Amino acid sequence: MVKILEREFIMVKPDGVQRGLIGEVIKRIEKVGLKIIAMKMFKVSMVQAEKHYEIHKDKPFYNGLVEYITCDPVVAMVVEGKNVVKITRKLVGSTNPLEAEPGSIRGDYALEIGRNIIHAGDSPENAKTEYSIYFTEDEMSSYKKIDADWLYE
């Protein structure tokens, strides 16, 4: 049976990098069985940030958001798996850490919306739009995980 895999965009934001949480984020992604197919650390350019947060352009927090995401390095990833967006949203937790479930990344490590450790796409379409800002198809390494038969029915 062919398994339909989705792709998700995940970014450890500057506060997550500064606080040394990159490994914890990767560990949680891998422990649940998702597959990282691209990853890199870099400083987000102004052009990338403006494109990424274009949907918030007219909101009062837009300038602060762009300034923040470009201030220090991030770690961006493309993750692949069945229902990956829904699974990742659960792993990440609510945007507002005060509403995030204990056990989620934001529920365990964040205190405020503006410093909530991690970003993840909220739909397969948005994930594709976002990861396309930071990665080319050539930078993604799709492969079959040896445990795939034990992860998916």
Quick one: average pLDDT of 62-84? 96
Per the model's pLDDT, the better-predicted residue between 18 and 146 turns out to be 18
Query: Which pLDDT belongs to residue 3?
Result: 63
Could you tell me what percent of the chain has a pLDDT over 90?
88
pLDDT of amino acid 149: 86
- The correct answer on CATH 3.30.70.141 for the domain covering 6-137 is yes
Average pLDDT over residues 51-59: 94
Q: Domain coordinates of the chain in residue numbers?
A: 6-137
134 near 48, Cβ under 8 Å?
yes
**What's the pTM value of the predicted model, to 2 decimals?**
0.94
Catalytically active residues are 119
Local structure of 7: helix, strand or coil? strand
Q: How far, rounded to the nearest angstrom, does the alpha carbon of residue 5 sit from its chain's CA centroid?
A: 17
Average pLDDT, rounded, for the chain: 95
